[in-house]
Amino acid sequence: MKIVMAAAECVPFVKTGGLADVMGALPKELVALGHEVTVILPKYSLIPEEYKSEFSLFGEIQVPFKGEQNTHTLFEYVLKGVRYVLVENDSYFARDQIYSQPDDGERFAFFTRAVLAAVETLEEGVDILHIHDWHTGMVPFLLKEDARYASLKENVKTILTIHNLQFQGWFPKSLLVEELGMDEAYFQDEAVSWHNNVNFLKTGIVYADKVTTVSPTYRNEILTEQYGEKLESLLRTREEDLIGILNGLDTEAYNPAADMEIAMVYDQTSVENKAVNKRAVQSRFGLPERGDVPLLTMVSRLSGQKGIDVLEQTLPGILETQDVQFVLLGSGESQYEQFFRVLEADFPGKVVAHIGFDESLAHLLYAGADIFLMPSHFEPCGLSQLVSMRYGTVPVANKTGGLKDTVVEYDSNLRSGNGFLSDFSKHESFAEAVNRALSLYQQPEHWKMIKQNGMQGDYSWLRSAKEYASLYEGIAGK
């Protein structure tokens, strides 16, 4: 099949979160299954020069935007069989960050038009146009409602993947009329309007042929008021077309047996080498180099979603009563950054707060830690629990979204399970889940089994890619 994907970010070019990881991994797995995949991205100035220097000219497109037809250049880069097409527009994409710009609505409205213009240039045709998150949410609407795409829409089916329903892209209705050039009458239709604004993601949900989420549990959760972000009623009208497909893990990028970012490689047969990585973490941060003390870690964006408020309530007590070490890697909301800085000051020799992000350090922490903390209030899929289990680090997580789908509470009688779970919906505390993990850490036979169970899991994208391919074939009638 001929598949085009469009997204705002993609590994290895630019990354702020899990969306980029998906875009870096899923297309190459679809290619491995025999499909042709093109990924359309903005050509950001932030893309490392090592990639930009290898871009080749792909062609030019005419983009109808703000009442004009302007010419923009497309560049091409091929990696592992995937063709990446990058749209140049320095006035929108030559910025010091990808998001949080005052003109984000205008920038991604332009990208929406550019995606469709680029699709029109693909001589081999397109079966599936798979868009991701709010940044491309207006694509199905324009494809179906703008007469200039009449011939295109006859052959192209659209899929929207929701990576996080919390981010929807609300912008003034003038954007629809003045920038996108569509009739104001669409605001009389609930499909587009949202409190007198345009809601990019809502519009995509209405107009896409199918809508997917990044885990089966998150699919069910967003149909409820608690997780639906005020779109649950709309989502329930599309319940038959809403599918949950669990994200995979890039097993090449995250492979403890071949990871050059860690102190010593290891696999299931040499998991004792994991201890070398633990000492490397302790040495790097000046912690006592003890093999007997449990090393806890968290690699995360510091936001309310991630349950930092839960750690505010639980971590001080655990540190006071248990012989443990804790290392944080992350940044985000200032109040949470400050919490970890104070925690580090209050527990010298036990806590390290590394505010910021460092991909190499993240790999070392996954390899060196004993326990990985994920107290998320909601988690559409989650990547960290998959990485930690692949690296033999035991996750302690809250039972929500993709965490519920991938982390299984360890049963000491059956010796089954790969981690420990709290359940905030049932008032099962995170502290109790951490303490269960710490108790089993003192029982080497059980702890070894938990690590092995985690490392043996199938977290590859191949499983997910097959599900997407089946979905594509179903809606394209192939």
Binding residues: 15
Bridge-based pairing state of the strands 68-79 and 56-65: antiparallel
Beta-bridged to residue 160, according to DSSP, are: 131, 211
| Residue 202: both structure tokens together | 């809502």
β-strands 210-213, 242-244: how paired? parallel
Give the C-alpha separation, 366 to 450, whole Å.
Answer: 16
d(CA 230, CA 213): 16
Q: Give the annotated binding-site residues for ADP-alpha-D-glucose.
A: 15
Half-sphere exposure of 34 (CA within 13 A, CB side): 4
Nearest to 132 by CA among 61, 79, 208: 208
Strands in 218-324 per DSSP E: 242-244, 295-302
Look at residues 335, 328, 336 and name the one whose alpha carbon lies nearest to residue 354.
Answer: 328
Give 329's contacts (C-beta < 8 A, 6+ positions apart).
297, 298, 299, 300, 354, 356, 357, 358, 361, 362, 365
Q: What is the CA radius of gyration of the chain?
A: 23
Q: Which tokens go with 349?
A: 């020799």
Alpha-carbon distance of 149 to 154, in angstroms, equals 9
Element (H, E) at 98: none
- Helix (H) or strand (E) holding 376, with range, is none
Q: How far, in Å, CA of 398 to CA of 356, rounded?
A: 24
